[in-house]
Copies of this chain bind each other. A is one copy, B any other.
Amino acid sequence: MRRYVLTITCPDRIGIVAAVTGFIAGHGGSVLEAAQHGDLSSGRFFLRIEVTAESLDMAPDDFRTAFAPLADEFAMTWQLSDSAERKRVVILVSREEHCVADLLYRYRSGDLECEVVSVVSNHQDLRSFVEWHGLPYRWVPMGTEPAVRRAESFAELERLVGADRPDVIVLARFMQILPDSFCAAYPGRIINIHHSFLPSFAGARPYHQAFARGVKLIGATCHYVTPDLDAGPIIEQDTRRIDHADSPDELRRVGRDIERTVLARGLRWHLEDRVLVNGSKTVVFA
With A and B bound together, what is the CA distance between A22 and B283 in angstroms? 25
Instruction: Tell me the smallest distance from the CB of A7 to a CB of chain B, in Å.
Output: 14
With A and B bound together, what is the CA distance between A37 and B33 in angstroms? 7
The residue in chain B whose Cβ has the minimal distance to the Cβ of A29 is B14
Instruction: Tell me if A214 is interfacial: C-beta within 8 Å of chain B.
Output: yes
Instruction: Tell me if A278 is interfacial: C-beta within 8 Å of chain B.
Output: yes
With A and B bound together, what is the CA distance between A216 and B278 in angstroms? 14
- With A18-B25, A261-B257 as contacts: A37 and B217 at CB distance below 8 Å: no
The residue in chain B whose Cβ has the minimal distance to the Cβ of A216 is B237
Contact of A214 among B55, B234, B245 (CB under 8 A): B234
With A and B bound together, what is the CA distance between A32 and B101 in angstroms? 32
Q: Could you say which residues of chain B place their CB within 8 Å of the CB of A238?
A: 217
Contact of A18 among B21, B38, B40 (CB under 8 A): B21
Residues of A in contact with B (beta carbons under 8 Å apart)? 14-15, 17-19, 21-22, 24-26, 28-40, 55, 97-98, 101-102, 105, 108-109, 111, 128-129, 132, 197-201, 213-217, 219, 233-239, 243-245, 247, 253, 256-257, 261, 278, 280-284, 286
20 new A-B contacts, CB < 8 A, other than A18-B18, A217-B237, are A14-B25, A14-B29, A17-B34, A31-B36, A32-B38, A39-B244, A98-B105, A98-B109, A102-B105, A111-B256, A132-B132, A197-B197, A197-B217, A199-B215, A200-B200, A215-B237, A216-B237, A219-B239, A244-B281, A257-B261
